[in-house]
């Protein structure tokens, strides 16, 4: 099982700042990940939450299973140490994905507290970043 975990406000994709995040809806993102997983012959579970405790529970589940994770921590990227500490427990790969290029945006978005504990980071490639992350994990 590979977990694709999405943080706050990503359920609003499609209508949320489309000039930055595009017009693809969250459901389109889920469908795309499931179809990529089918092509790769793996099982993927795609989740989204606006609640910190829920994200930490999902990360702990991945820790217990030794599973790989694709994570878009959304705004938590920039300040959430509890999410970072849960990520540090992972034994599988962790690919941090951002739809937008956080380095081209406000200065406070340039820093990620997650990246130091991630296997790798993809930013600015739109939702294609999720596909590339899944392909990398399966390689």
What residues form the annotated binding site?
Answer: 72, 78, 85, 99-100, 109
- Neighbour order of strands in the sheet with 94-98: 44-48, 2-6, 68-72, 94-98, 120-123
Residue ranges in 99-118 that form contacts with ligand DQA under rule CB under 6 A: 99-100, 102, 109
Cα pseudo-dihedral 2, 32, 84, 138, rounded to 10: 40
Residues catalogued as catalytic:
21, 98
Residue 98 as a binder of ligand DQA (CB under 6 A): the answer is yes
DSSP secondary structure, 59-71, as one string:
HHHHHHHT-EEEE
- Write the DSSP symbol of residue 15: T
Supply the minimum distance, in Å, between the C-beta of residue 130 and ligand DQA: 10
**Closest CB to ligand DQA among residues 9, 119:** 9
Is the distance from CB of 26 to CB of 12 less than 8 angstroms? yes
Supply the minimum distance, in Å, between the C-beta of residue 3 and ligand DQA: 17
Residue 25 as a binder of ligand DQA (CB under 6 A): the answer is no
Q: Which of 2, 46, 55, 74 binds ligand DQA (CB under 6 A)?
A: 74
């Amino acid at each position: 099982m590979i977990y694709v975990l999405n943080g706050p406000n990503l359920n609003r994709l499609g209508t949320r700042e489309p000039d930055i995040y595009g017009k693809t809806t969250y459901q389109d993102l889920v469908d795309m990940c499931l179809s990529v997983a089918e092509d790769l012959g793996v099982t993927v579970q795609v989740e989204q939450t606006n609640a910190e405790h829920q994200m930490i529970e999902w990360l702990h589940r991945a820790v217990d299973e030794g599973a790989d994770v694709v994570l878009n921590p959304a705004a938590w990227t920039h300040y959430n140490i509890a999410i970072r500490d849960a990520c540090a427990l992972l034994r599988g790969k962790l690919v941090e994905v951002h739809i937008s290029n956080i380095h081209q945006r406000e200065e406070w978005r340039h820093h990620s507290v997650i990246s130091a504990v991630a296997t790798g980071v993809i930013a600015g490639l739109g939702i294609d970043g999720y596909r590339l992350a899944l392909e990398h994990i399966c390689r």
